[in-house]
Chains A and B, each alone.
Chain A
Amino acid sequence: GPKVLQIPSHQIIDMGQMVTLNCDPVSNHLYFYWYKQILGQQMEFLVNFYNGKVMEKSKLFKDQFSVERPDGSYFTLKIQPTALEDSAVYFCASSLRGQKNERLFFGHGTKLSVL
């Protein structure tokens, strides 16, 4: 089936550094998402993105967070600077048209460890 690829699978950085998480969505999908999962528990919505713009973001999407997808490249989540509480697994997802009755396809996640 359709696959979302995330790179890297694990990232370890020092607090205060910048980190970029990369996502290669399903090729014909138009809507992209980031979710945060702590300790294998609840999936928390961060942001969704369409046509080069943030459509909606949650309170977890702090000012230090940004997303972009330059033409033909990865959909990225950048955190600058990082904080200890940013340690989590970050999941990228995509959907075809962003409609509410559509399923989201998730990647395997990037585990971020902030030391």
Chain B
Amino acid sequence: QQKVQQSPESLSVPEGGMASLNCTSSDRNFQYFWWYRQHSGEGPKALMSIFSDGDKKEGRFTAHLNKASLHVSLHIRDSQPSDSALYFCAASGATGGNNKLTFGQGTVLSVIP
């Protein structure tokens, strides 16, 4: 069973619209959550992190974490064609000594001009 599950698998939004991506973990050991973005032909790049319950806003991007339900979301307002990419939710645990990130299967976002 996937420890980090993302939905939807793919998403299309019009330019200027709002994109909402979701992520749920089945492992309560996960305490640190990240959103990574991967453009075609490149490696994933960290977009933002969220470690505490509630919202975290960085420009057009807002992440939300609910630790009780282990649910994380990413909302992109005023979506731009350059936001079209593969988005990963990634998590690491509170125990253990090393930073091992577990990735979800990804959401493909297409922003239509």
Listed in ascending order, the chain A residues whose CB lies under 8 Å from chain B are 4, 31, 35, 40-45, 48, 50, 55-56, 91, 93, 95, 98-109
B87-113 interface (Cβ within 8 A of A): 88, 90, 92-94, 96-106
Select one of B42, B46, B93, B105 contacting A100, CB under 8 A.
B93
Closest to A91 in B: B43
Known: A4-B43, A43-B88, A91-B43. A104 touches B99 (CB 8 A): yes
- On chain B, the residues within 8 Å of A45 by CB distance are 100-103
Select one of A41, A50, A105 contacting B105, CB under 8 A.
A41
Known interface pairs A40-B86, A101-B51; 14 further A-B residue pairs with C-beta atoms within 8 A, sorted by A's residue number? A4-B43, A43-B88, A43-B90, A44-B103, A45-B101, A50-B98, A55-B97, A56-B96, A100-B32, A100-B93, A103-B46, A104-B46, A107-B43, A108-B42
B59 in the interface, Cβ–Cβ < 8 Å?
no
Is B49 in contact with A101, judged by CB distance below 8 angstroms? yes
Is A106 in contact with B43, judged by CB distance below 8 angstroms? yes
Listed in ascending order, the chain B residues whose CB lies under 8 Å from chain A are 31-32, 34, 40-46, 49, 51, 86, 88, 90, 92-94, 96-106
Is A56 in contact with B100, judged by CB distance below 8 angstroms? yes
- On chain B, the residues within 8 Å of A98 by CB distance are 97-99
Q: How far is the CB of B97 from chain A (nearest CB, A)?
A: 7
Q: How far is the CB of B1 from chain A (nearest CB, A)?
A: 13
Closest to A48 in B: B98
Whole-angstrom CA separation of A31 from B41 in the bound complex = 24
- On chain A, the residues within 8 Å of B49 by CB distance are 101, 103
- On chain A, the residues within 8 Å of B90 by CB distance are 43
Q: For the complex of A and B, list the 3 residue pairs with the smallest distance between their C-beta atoms, beginning with the closest.
A: A106-B43, A103-B46, A43-B103
Is A106 in contact with B98, judged by CB distance below 8 angstroms? no
- On chain B, the residues within 8 Å of A41 by CB distance are 105-106
